[in-house]
């Protein structure tokens, strides 16, 4: 696909064919109301382990939640009973972790994107608001975006069949505009005597972390690799606007450190892969070290993309269900889990670097199971580092 983003006149027609020729029906007003009721719930303290997480760490078999008798679909569709927002949210989290999200063999599910929107605490966004970003044309990052999109999941036939490059370009260009706007807001508010000094960045980062330093609050920018991170959202969503708001929430609320400055959050995550591996499997960790292999060399794509770089895509979606319920920061442990799955091959190889250039096909259930077992072995201080590394 070549050429600039759709113009204001072309955009509505382009969006009418968002997911390969057909724009599926938008969610019903009832679904929007249910999503809003769950979004309006006071979320758990940022990066504190949920009840489900605590249960897994302590070995408790299965806690009882107020909405445990309802299916995940009922919780998402109808919202909380009797105003019990926290109970509904925790019940939904547990059901995602314990039962997963029902989906077809190709990973498609009419429920998944709404589960993600709730778990990511993404705001309701109108299509018109998304269109307004599209109408602005090429963003300052447009050349970088075009250099990335054509090589996104090129070997995955499911993704290539469902998501067009034009769709990916529009989404990333809209994200780049929103991040650009946040940068401009930050510049305005940092000027001495500025009338904007009390206005937080548009992406809401400042509102979530008001106690942190100005450097930490700096909005992110478009970085190479965001195309792969965006891909599962476009595949799972029923519209580009849904994919946009979920992706933007992930970037700005869950892992702003991945797209800020020198991508310090990613580098902290890579150091934690080495640290966790040394704790849970010292022999494997020392062997890789002896071969001069740190996570910086082999795990950068896996950290930045939350393992979306490892096929197959339906397994990535299932792993993301787990990460969004349990905390995207636990991708660090998921990477260590994949290393332990490869343990025998790595230890028997004189050149493990060749093995680590591409991880084996992702098995979400196996990775989740090993991840949960590893979590119990991680000291609290290291767990806290993992929980905050992407901020």
- Give residue 98's pLDDT: 87
Find out whether 20 and 161 touch, Cβ atoms under 8 Å: yes
- φ, ψ of residue 210 to 5 degrees: the values are -65, -20
The confidence score (pLDDT) of residue 194 equals 52
**The pLDDT value given to residue 63:** 57
| CB-CB contact of 216 with 183 (8 Å) | no
Distance CA 114, CA 128 (A): 19
Residue at token pair 């084996």: 360
* pLDDT for the residue numbered 214: 36
Domains and CATH numbers, the chain: 29-99 (no CATH), 108-190+215-254 (1.10.8), 264-388 (1.10.472.80)
Query: For residue 83, what pLDDT is reported?
Result: 82
Predicted pLDDT at 50: 44
The predicted structure's pLDDT at residue 189? 77
pLDDT at site 264 = 95
In this prediction the pTM is 0.80
Q: How confident is the model at residue 267, as a pLDDT?
A: 98
What is the reported pLDDT for 81?
84
Q: What is the mean pLDDT of each run of 10 residues along the chain (391 residues)?
A: 36 28 35 44 38 45 71 89 86 90 96 96 93 96 96 94 97 97 82 48 33 52 95 97 97 95 95 98 97 97 97 98 95 98 96 92 96 94 96 94
The reported pLDDT for the residue numbered 49 is: 42
């Amino acid at each position: 696909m070549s050429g600039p983003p759709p113009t204001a006149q072309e955009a509505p027609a382009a969006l009418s064919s968002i997911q390969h020729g057909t724009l599926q029906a938008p969610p019903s007003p009832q679904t929007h109301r249910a999503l809003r009721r769950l979004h309006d719930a006071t979320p758990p303290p940022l990066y504190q382990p949920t009840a489900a997480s605590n249960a897994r760490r302590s070995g408790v078999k299965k806690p009882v939640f107020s909405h445990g008798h309802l299916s995940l679909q009922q919780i998402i569709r109808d919202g909380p009973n009797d105003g019990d927002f926290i109970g509904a949210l925790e019940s939904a989290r547990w059901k995602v972790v314990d039962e997963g999200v029902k989906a077809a063999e190709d990973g498609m599910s009419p429920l998944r994107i709404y589960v993600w929107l709730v778990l990511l605490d993404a705001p309701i966004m109108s299509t018109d608001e998304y269109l307004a970003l599209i109408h602005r044309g090429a963003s300052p990052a447009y050349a970088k975006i075009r250099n990335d999109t054509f090589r996104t999941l090129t070997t995955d036939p499911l993704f290539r069949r469902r998501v067009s490059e034009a769709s990916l370009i529009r989404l990333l260009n809209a994200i780049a505009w929103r991040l650009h706007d946040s940068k401009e807001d930050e510049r305005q508010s940092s000027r001495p005597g500025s009338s904007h000094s009390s206005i937080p960045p548009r992406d809401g980062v400042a509102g979530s972390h008001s106690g942190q330093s100005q450097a930490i609050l700096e909005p992110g920018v478009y970085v190479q690799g965001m195309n792969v991170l965006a891909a599962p959202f476009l595949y799972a969503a029923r519209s580009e606007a849904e994919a946009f708001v979920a992706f933007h929430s992930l970037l700005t609320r869950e892992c702003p450190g991945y797209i800020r400055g020198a991508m310090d959050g990613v580098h902290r995550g890579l150091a934690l892969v080495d640290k966790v591996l040394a704790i849970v499997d010292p022999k494997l960790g020392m062997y890789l070290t002896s071969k001069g292999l740190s996570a910086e060399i082999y795990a950068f794509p896996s950290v930045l993309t939350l393992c979306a770089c490892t096929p197959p895509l339906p397994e990535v979606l299932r792993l993301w269900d787990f990460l969004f319920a349990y905390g995207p920061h636990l991708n660090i442990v998921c990477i260590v889990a994949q290393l332990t799955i490869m343990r025998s091959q790595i230890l028997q190889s004189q050149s493990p670097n060749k093995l680590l250039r591409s991880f084996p096909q992702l098995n979400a259930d196996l990775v989740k199971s090993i991840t949960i077992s590893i979590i119990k072995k991680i000291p609290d201080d290291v767990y806290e580092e993992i929980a905050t590394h992407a901020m």
